[in-house]
């Protein structure tokens, strides 16, 4: 095959797969790079000027009503995704959707396992700028609430994308993830870099898994279209 024919074939392949390549870059490689940049600074004990400044600003906005709202979101922000993810996993097993069930198990359960391992590795001490309403003694980086809630939201969005429920998944999942992350900052138990790192880690993890499961999920999408 001549060189120009090889180039045309390569360009054709890139054009045909540009959507997946864009997803791979924006959804996996870029978040992984951002997580790595944050992790490197945390490992080297470098401080982020915006970490404490953001926490102190949020604390200055505190009111009794906001306290209760943020406590609510922080209480549901870790156990809630694990309960929903576990229920979804067993429901998919019951439906014999083996690939989807494995995707949920690895997406949510894998994010939890990764979070615990990374916390132990970096051993970052939590902020201590004021007496928190929800104090914790575990490590800070990255935020488990941010990581697990993002993992569940992304997993649901991906699974529901071929259906009419994808809009609901987006409208409910994204605000919940943001509010759960905000609650951790408002309560002073995480730095913003902890929450951002948790989000980036889950983006790279779940969307990376999606690439591995892409063909299986595409087959599922076609079955849903045929039955709809």
- Angle formed by the axes of helices 214-227 and 192-212, nearest 10°: 70
Please state, as a whole number, how many other Cβ atoms lie within 10 Å of the Cβ of residue 158.
Answer: 22
Over residues 58-77, the pLDDT tens digits come to 999 999 999 999 999 999 88
Q: What are the C-alpha distances in Å from 107 to residues 11, 207, 223?
A: 33, 9, 22
Domain boundaries, the chain: 25-227
Over residues 176-225, the pLDDT tens digits come to 999 999 999 999 999 999 999 999 999 999 988 887 775 555 555 445 44
- Its pTM stands at 0.82
Cβ contact 77:149 at 8 Å:
yes
């Amino acid at each position: 095959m001549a060189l120009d024919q090889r180039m045309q074939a390569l360009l054709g392949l890139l054009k045909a797969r540009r959507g997946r390549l864009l997803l791979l870059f924006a959804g996996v490689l870029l978040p992984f790079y951002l997580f790595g940049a944050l992790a490197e600074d945390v490992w080297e004990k470098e401080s982020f000027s915006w970490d404490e400044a953001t926490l102190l600003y949020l604390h200055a906005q505190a009111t009794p009503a906001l306290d209760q709202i943020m406590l609510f979101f922080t209480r549901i922000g870790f156990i809630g995704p694990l309960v929903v993810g576990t229920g979804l996993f067993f429901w998919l097993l019951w439906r014999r959707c083996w690939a989807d069930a494995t995707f949920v198990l690895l997406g949510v359960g894998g994010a939890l396992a990764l979070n615990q391992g990374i916390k132990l590795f970096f051993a970052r001490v939590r902020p201590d700028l004021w007496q928190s309403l929800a104090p914790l003694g575990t490590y800070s980086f990255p935020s488990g609430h941010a990581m697990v809630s993002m993992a569940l939201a992304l997993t649901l969005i991906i699974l529901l994308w071929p259906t009419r429920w994808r809009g609901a998944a987006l409208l409910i999942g994204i605000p919940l993830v943001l509010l759960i992350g905000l609650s951790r900052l408002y309560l002073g138990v995480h730095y913003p870099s902890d929450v951002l790192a948790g989000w980036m880690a889950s983006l790279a993890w779940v969307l990376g898994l999606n690439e591995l499961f892409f063909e299986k999920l595409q087959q599922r999408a076609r079955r849903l279209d045929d039955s709809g």
